[in-house]
Amino acid sequence: METVELKFLLKLLTFEDYRAPLSKIELNPTISEAEREEICGKLCDRGFLVCSYKISKFKIAPPGKFLLKQDSDGFLPLTTQERKVLRASAKGRISAKETGIPAEERQVAIQSLAERGLIEVKPKHKKIQEVWLSERGKEYLQYQYNPSESCSVLSPELLSHYIQFLRKSFQEVLPAQSMETKTLSDDKILLTIEELERQLVTDNGLPICHLREKLHPLLSREELDESLYRLEQLEKIELTALRAPTACAFSSEQIDAGIVQEVGAPLFFVTLK
């Protein structure tokens, strides 16, 4: 994750419920409003953030024109307000106000049509309004973020809010010692594998030694082995053995971090399915 993206996530920790208007996220004086929105969009695309947005201008798309022609009897899956939006935009690009729909209902209809590809919206006419941490974003900061790798990002204020965030997170998790916690742990392992695969970009899969290092001391060797076997049975991951020609690229400590089998070479690589 880029430093400026990480700072964006940490900045959200300073707001109530980790939610704020995009305009309130101050990253750097040199970063423009458009750049800030682009950073936010990338984090949303990767699932670390969720945002609400507002569409100011748009025009009908070819699928919307086709659907409107077929909808003369009102039998197709369009609400009354969605029909009004399509009809209003049939002659060209219009503003949201020109739909003739009450302000409180306008964006719901417009965004529904945009998500289904029935209207066309230019990026500059789609403005992010509010942004908040997703569950994946919270889990990244809880279990994958290493503060020592980005000390320059953590000002005293951000460090204080990050510590408060961790304390609150663990207070919520610790009392829940149940099967639900085990399932949650599996999800965290999958997220960690995904993140390490992006960072290391290996040909044969992710070496288990890197996963052990990242998850220690949250999971012991035995706990991680059990979790990986369970995830393989659920067809979430695939475990493969270390072949002799490949072994030369790894140290004896890294090889020992694999999963020992009674017969054959140790299981050494893990890949997401």
DSSP bridge pairs for 54:
127
Give CA 28 to chain center in angstroms.
23
DSSP bridge pairs for 119:
60
Residues 6+ apart with CB under 8 A from 204: 240, 246, 269
Check if the beta carbon of residue 227 is closer than 8 Å to that of residue 186. Answer: yes
User: Does 178 score more than 60 pLDDT?
Assistant: no
Q: For 204-224, what is the mean pLDDT?
A: 87
Helices 208-215 and 221-233 cross at an angle (nearest 10°) of 120
Rounded to whole angstroms, the Cα distance separating 233 from 207 reads 19
Q: In what order do the strands lie in the sheet with 267-272?
A: 206-207, 267-272, 237-241
| Reduced DSSP (H G I as helix, E B as strand, rest coil) percent helix, strand, coil of the chain, to 5 | 55, 15, 30
Top-confidence residue, 191 or 262? 191
Length of the chain: 273
User: Does 243 score more than 50 pLDDT?
Assistant: yes
Rounded to whole angstroms, the Cα distance separating 43 from 40 reads 5
Q: For 76-84, what is the mean pLDDT?
A: 82
Percent of the chain with pLDDT over 70: 89
| Distance, first Cα to last Cα, the chain | 22
Q: For 15-35, what is the mean pLDDT?
A: 89
Enter the pTM of the model. 0.54
pLDDT at 180: 44
Rounded to whole angstroms, the Cα distance separating 138 from 191 reads 12
Q: For 48-64, what is the mean pLDDT?
A: 90
Rounded to whole angstroms, the Cα distance separating 250 from 253 reads 8
Q: Look-up: residue for tokens 């594998």?
A: 193
Tell me which architecture the domain covering 179-272 has in CATH. Answer: Orthogonal Bundle (1.10)
Rounded to whole angstroms, the Cα distance separating 49 from 162 reads 17
Top-confidence residue, 41 or 69? 41
Of the pLDDT bands very low, low, confident and very high (cuts 50, 70, 90), residue 177 is: very low
User: Does 49 score more than 80 pLDDT?
Assistant: yes
Annotated domain spans of the chain: 1-175, 179-272
Q: For 231-240, what is the mean pLDDT?
A: 92
pLDDT at 195: 87
